[in-house]
Amino acid sequence: MGKKQTRKTHVLAHPRVPLEMTFNTSSKGLGIEHVATSLYDAYSDILTHQAMILAVNSRKQLSTYWGANDFAFHVLPNFVDPLLQFESQLKIIELSFKMVFAMPSIDKVKEMRDNEDDKDDLENLYQNILNIFEDTLLILVSKDLYKLQILKEMAVWMSEDSSYLQERAMVIISRVLSFACGKVRRYESFDIPCLGILAAELFLLCFHTDPSIIQQASSGMYHLLCIAKYQDADIAKNKTTKYDKSGSHCLLPFPCGIELPPKISQQEKTKIAQDVGQSLMPSMLTDLVWSLLMRLSASDYTTASEAATLLKLTLEYHAHKVTMMSKIVDAIYKQLCGNPSHIMKQAMLQVIALLTLASPKKVIFQLMDYPVPADNTLILMWHTAGSVSSVAPHVLKTILLILKGKPGEMHDNLMERRRFSIDVTNMMPVAASQALCTLLPVGSYKKAVAQFFPQLLMALLCQLFYSSNQKLMTGDGPLYAQDALRVLLNCSGLQQVDTALEKQNCWTQFSQELFDHSGVHLVAKTLSEYNFPQFPETLHYLYKLSVEGPRRSEDSVITVIFLTQLLNNFFKNPFPEEFLILFRNWVKDSNPTVSELSLQKIAHLAPVINEIENVCSLLTSILDAFLSKDKTVTIQALLTVRKLLDKLDKVTYSSLCTRIASSYCPLMDHSNGEIRSMAIQHFGELLRDMSQYTWMLNDVILRVLVPLILFLEDTETKVVKACKYTLEICASELGWSKPYSLTEENYNFELLVINICNSLRLSHGRYIRDLISDTLGFLKSSRAHLRRTSVILIGYLAKLCGHLLHRDEIEVMLEAVDRMLRDEDPVIKELAKITHSIFKEIADRFTTSNLKQSFRRLFNFICVKKLKPLYNYNGPNNLTVSPMGIKETKNDKESLMDENYKDILGKKFPRASKCTSEKE
C-alpha cells in the first residue's frame, strides 16, 4: 500500500494524461503506465469531488477546506438556497460522471496488465472509483430523495454521448433506485418530480440492442415503479404494497432479476406500455409522454422511431391520464411547422388523434387557439382530429361551446383566462368557423352533423352576424361563418336551399349594416319554403334555447326573428300556447329589440285574440311594457294593445278596462310627444269603447283630467289634438256640456278651464281638492307651458273650493305658488301673482271668527259662484279675435250656467236658484 501511495503522489505531480489517449499508444508498457496514471488521477479527483459534494450537502463554507484559488471556491461560494445547492452539486456530479464513465472498460485494463499484482491493483482501483461515485449518489439520496433527479440527468448525459459506457452507468442507476425504493417505505409522504422523465429514459433503454443494458434498465424501471407506487397518495396512506429487496411482494410489470430477450415482440412492448402507464401517476405519465415526444425530433432515427412506438402504445391505453394537453398539442404544432420527416410527422399526427380520442375538448380548444386564418399545418391537425369518428359528437359540442363567444371580444382579466395563448382578443370563434369548413364534410361526421344541425345552424347565424359587423368595421377578413353555414346546408341535404339563398343575394344582405336582420329572415323563410326535414328538431331546439336564454342580447334577437319566421310559415294563428308564453315573456326582455319584435308578433294575433287562453295575462304583460325605458318598445306596446282591444270581446274588455285605463295615466306626462299623444288618444278610444261601463271609469277619468287640461297648451300639435279628442269624450261620459272651444282649431284656454271647473263644481265637487293636489305636481315641471297652465288651473280650482280647504293645505299651496313668483319666465310670474292673491284671500278668511267661517261655508254650499276670467291669458293656442270667443266672454259676465247646469242645481240645491252672483 505504501508503494501505491507513493506512486499516487508521484503521478499527481505530473501533467495529467486524458484517458482516451491511453489506448492510442502502440506500446503495451507505455499503455499500462498511462492507464495506471489516469486511474490514479481519476481516483484522486473522485475523492475530491465527493468531499466537495458532502461539504455542500452540509452547507459549510468551502473556503474552510480549499484555498481561494481552488475551483470549488469560485463555483460554490455559499450554499443556503436548496436550489442553488442542488445546481452546484449537479455541476460537480457532471464532472465526475464524464470522468468516471470515460474510463476504459475493466476488460481492456486486464488485457494491458504486466503481471498479476498489477492486475489486482488496477482492478481494485477501478472498482473503488466506481464505488466512490455510487456511494456519493447514495449519500445524497439518503439525505434527500429529491436528489434522484441526478439519475435523470445521468440518463440524459448518456443519451447525448454514446462513448460513455452505458451498461456501467445503468448498473449504478439501478442500484441507487433500489436503495431509494427501500428507503421510501419509511416516509409518510414525499415528492420526487423527476420520476416521469427518468421513466421515459429507462423505458427507451428497456428496448436497447445490448442485452446487459436492457437488463439493468428493466431492473431500474422496476424499482422506479415501486417508488411511484409509494408516492401515490392512497398507497402511501394504506401501505398495502409491501416491498423487499427481492421484489417478490411488489406486483409490478418488471419482476426484479428477470432477463428480457434481446428482441422484444410487439405484444410484449404493448404489455409493458400498459403496465407502465397503469403504475405511473398522471403527473409522472405526463412527464413520460412529454419526454418521449421530445425524442421524436432526435437526430438518431432509431431513438426517434422507438420513442414514437412507445408513445403510441402508451397513449393508446392511458391518454386519459395525461395532463397539460394544451402544452403537448402546442409542442406538436411547433414541431410540425419545422418540417420533420414523413415518418415522424405521421407519428406526431397519431399522437394528436390519440389525445383527441381521450380528451377531445382540451385538444379542440387548443387547436382553435391559433391565429386566423389557419395555416396548412393547423388544417392538417384539424383533419387528424376529425379522423377520430367516435368522438365526432364531442368535437362538435366543443366547437359549439367556442361559437358562443364573440369574435374580437376583449378579455378583461388575463389571469382569469384559461386559454393557452397570450392573445387578449378572442378570435377562437372565427377559427372554429373555419374548422367546421374542414370537419363537416368528413364522412364519419355525417351522423353527428345531423344530430347537431339546429345548434350549428343557430350558432353560425350568430357568428355570421358578428363577423359581418366586424368586417364592416375593419373592412377585411373572410367570412368563415358564411362558408361554414353553406357547408352545413350542403352536408345536410339542403343544397336547394343554399342555391336559392345564393340567387336571392342572402349573403350580401348579411354584409350590409342596414339589412343585417333581413338575412336571418331570408334564411328562415327559405328553409320553410323547402320544408326542410330538420324542422321538428330545430323548433324544439329554438324553444329550449328560448327558455334557457342565449348568452347575449344579439343572440336573442336572432333567435326571436328565426323562431317567428318559422312559426309564421308552419302554423296558423293562434300558434301553440307554449310558444305564445315565450313571446309573452319576451315582452319583458332587457333587450328592446326583442321586446319590440315580440310585441309585433303578438299584434298579429288580433284577429284570433278571443281564441287565446289566458288573454288577460297576455294583455297584462303588454301593459307592463308601457313603462319601458325604450320609447320604441312603449310605442309598440301602445299600438299592440290598441290593435288587440279592437277585436277583444266586450266581456273580457270590461273586466280589464280599469287596469288598461290606469296604465295610460303615467304616459300622458311622458317626455316623448308621440307617446303622450298616443296615450291620450287611446285613453279616449277606450272610453268610447266602454261607454256602457262609464261608472267603472269615472275615478280614472278624474285622475287624468289635470294632464288632459294642461297639455292643451302642449308645444306639439298632435298632443293638443289628442287632448281635445279625449276631453270631448270625457265631457260626454261625465254628463257635461261640450265646451265650444274643443271643436275649434284655435281656442281660449282660460275660458275652457272656466267651463270645465264650473262643470266640476256642479257634478264632482268632492274631487276638486284631489285635482288641486295633482296640479301642484306640475308646478315643478321643466316645461314652461305646463307651469303656466298649472298656475292658471290651480287658481280657478282654489276659487271653486277655497271654502273646503284647511289651513295647512293653504300653507302648502302658498309655499308652492311663492316659488313660481321667482320663476325665470315673466309670464309665469304675472300669472303666479294672481294665483297667489287668490290663496292669500282664502288664507285671510281663517283669521275671522269661527262663526263667520261656518256661515261662509254654508253660503258656498247654497249659492253657486260664477267663475270669471282672472288672468287674461293668451297662450300660443288661444283665440284672440274670434267672434265666438268675444261672444263667450260677454256671456260670461252675465252667466256661465247653461240650461243643464241650472236643472241640476235646482234639483240638488233648491235655494241656490234664488241666489244672485256676488263677489267674494
Residue of 401, 337, 346, 321 whose CA lies nearest to 371: 337
pLDDT exceeds 50 at position 479? yes
Residue 768 in contact with residue 797, Cβ under 8 Å?
yes
The parent domain of residue 797 ranges over: 748-874
Q: Is the dihedral of CA 588, 594, 598, 599 positive or negative?
A: positive
Query: Helices 282-295 and 325-337 meet at what angle, rounded to 10?
Result: 0
* pLDDT tens string 146-169: 888 888 888 888 877 665 667 788
**Domains identified in the chain, total number:** 1
d(CA 276, CA 196): 10
Binned at pLDDT 50, 70 and 90, residue 918 comes out as: very low
Cα distance between the two ends of the chain: 145
Q: Are strands 425-426 and 409-410 parallel, antiparallel or unpaired?
A: antiparallel
Asked whether residue 850 is domain-assigned, the answer is yes
Spatial neighbors of 147 by CB under 8 A, at least 6 apart, are: 86, 89, 137, 140, 141
Closest CA to 420 of 333, 348, 356: 333
Residue 670 lies inside a defined structural domain of this protein: no
pTM given for the model: 0.74
Rounded to an integer, what distance in angstroms lies between the CA atom of residue 508 and that of residue 501? 10
Stretch 450-473: mean pLDDT, rounded? 85
pLDDT digits (tens, 9 = 90+) for 317-361: 888 999 889 999 999 999 999 888 888 999 999 999 999 999 999
Q: Angle at which helices 282-295 and 195-205 pack, to 10 degrees? A: 50
User: 848 pLDDT exceeds 70?
Assistant: no
Using pLDDT thresholds of 50, 70 and 90, give the confidence band for residue 190.
Answer: low
User: Each residue of 348-397: pLDDT tens digit?
Assistant: 999 999 999 999 999 999 999 898 889 999 999 999 999 888 999 999 99
Q: How far apart are CA 107 and CA 529, in angstroms?
A: 90
For the chain, how many helices (H) and strands (E)? 45, 2
Answer yes or no: is 179 within a domain.
no
Does 784 map to a domain? yes
Average pLDDT, the chain: 77
Sorted by sequence, the CB contacts under 8 Å of residue 662 that are 6+ apart come out as 700, 703
For the segment 88-95, the average pLDDT, to the nearest whole number, is 84
Res. 89: pLDDT tops 90: no
Q: What is the pLDDT of residue 59?
A: 56
- CA pair distance 162, 154, nearest whole angstrom: 12
Residue 800 lies in a domain: yes
**Residue 875, all three cell numbers:** 297662450
For residues 839 and 834, give the distance between their C-alpha atoms in angstroms, rounded to a whole number. Answer: 9
In angstroms, rounded to a whole number, what is the distance separating the alpha carbons of residues 263 and 214?
10
Q: Determine the Cα angle at 279 with ends 346 and 260, to 5°.
A: 75
- Domain membership of residue 828 (yes or no) is yes
Inside any domain, residue 792: yes
**Cβ(816)–Cβ(775) below 8 Å:** no
**One-letter amino acid for residue 163 of the chain:** S
Whole-number Å distance between alpha carbons of 76 and 72: 5
Three-state DSSP class for 325?
helix
The closest of 315, 309, 264 to 289, measured between CA atoms, is 315
- In this structure, of 37-51, 139-153, 510-524, 877-891, the range with the lowest mean pLDDT score is 877-891
In a 3-state reduction of DSSP, which class is residue 763? Answer: helix
| Residue 96: how many other CB atoms lie within 10 Å | 23
Around 542, how many Cα atoms within 13 Å sit in the side-chain half-sphere? Answer: 25
- The grid coordinates of residue 57 equal 450537502
Contacts of 240 (CB under 8 A, 6+ apart): none
756 found inside a domain: yes
Residue holding cell 367546421? Answer: 436
765 HSE (CA, 13 A, CB side): 16
- 31 confidence band (pLDDT: 50, 70, 90): low
Q: Which amino acid is at 851?
A: L
Q: Which one has a higher pLDDT value, 93 or 236? A: 93
> Which residues touch 47 (CB under 8 Å, ≥6 apart)?
132
Range with top average pLDDT, 253-267, 278-292, 734-748? 278-292
Closest CA to 877 of 735, 751, 782, 739: 751
- The 10s digit of each residue's pLDDT in 626-672 is 999 999 999 999 999 999 999 999 999 999 999 999 999 999 999 99
C-beta atoms surrounding 432 within 10 Å: 30
Whether the CB-CB separation of 216 and 167 falls below 8 Å is answered with yes
Percentage of the chain with pLDDT > 90? 29
Question: Which of 27-41, 82-96, 175-189 is predicted with the least confidence, judged by mean pLDDT?
Answer: 27-41
pLDDT at res. 49: 84
d(CA 793, CA 757): 9
Contact assessment for residue 618 and residue 655, using Cβ atoms and an 8 Å cutoff: no
Distance CA 523, CA 541 (A): 17
